[in-house]
Amino acid sequence: MKILITGAKGQLGNDLIKILGADTRFELIPFSKAELDITDENKVNEAVRSVKPNLVIHAAAYTAVDDCESNRKKAFEVNSFGAYYVAKAAKEVGAAMVYISTDFIFNGKKKEPYTVNDAPDPLSIYGKSKLLGERLVQLVLKECYIVRTAWLYGQNGENFVKTMLHLAKKDREFFVVNDQMGSPTYTKDLAIAIKQLIGKKFGLYHISNTGSCSWFTFAQSILSMAGYNPALVKPISTKDYGVVAQRPAFSVLSTASIEKEGIQMRHWQAALQKFLEKEEYEYD
């Protein structure tokens, strides 16, 4: 199977290349942001036509949530119309597609995990642009997997875990919000689940590590597991912390949709421990 990957140098893109690249069934054609501007429809068409993939994994996105508020045009160009161009090009060559979406398409008013049947109601420009991307992909291409995930971190690039470790090294107190609940997700685990999803029925899936916590609890766990004093991190409300974009207070995703397909995710604490230990990649 020939697989084209966009956003190949991002956190998820790197792990997809490691996980899928170790399987001889797959031939990968990765494109970084520099190599393929997904907002240029002509370039997207040219790339997809030249490769003629069987599957496109669309991991490219504009994920700077606060920046999206002041760069609305860019947010929709990348997250919505870029995805639309990729889906149209995929359809033209007869390829299926995986579109990576987000927990931010929900408003956070639920008190129990969001299922694939729950109605989206995004609060931010980022969430709105990703939801429009979902809908445009589904409009164009029936052979697609919409994969919603949350709170990503990986070995490559910057993320919350690395930021917490950097702050902990300074041995000074710092603040993390304690009124947003979600499921931290290791990009390696997400990549493995996406690999397992290939060949299953097309549709909408929620994929994250299991369990849930606040950003504050997540930060405490990071420090504790890494051998730092968890008391260095102090709780603060989102309002007092101050952010530009509105976030869902609760965005835990139910993994029932993938469990029906026989795909299991480990608990976020187990994944975090392995991330900190720089667990070797397992190719099964």
Give the catalytic positions in this structure: 126
Q: Rounded distance, CA 16 to CA 250, Å?
A: 28
Burial class from Cβ neighbours inside 10 Å (0-12, 13-18, 19+) for residue 18 reads middle
Strands 181-182 and 213-214: antiparallel
CB contact burial 79-112 (16+ within 10 A = b; e otherwise) = bbbbbbbbbbbbbebebbbbbbbbbbbbbbeeee
Q: Rounded distance, CA 202 to CA 98, Å?
A: 9
Cα distances (Å, whole numbers) of residue 19 to 15, 22, 89:
6, 6, 25
Give start and end residues of each alpha helix (H) in 237-279: 238-241, 256-259, 268-276
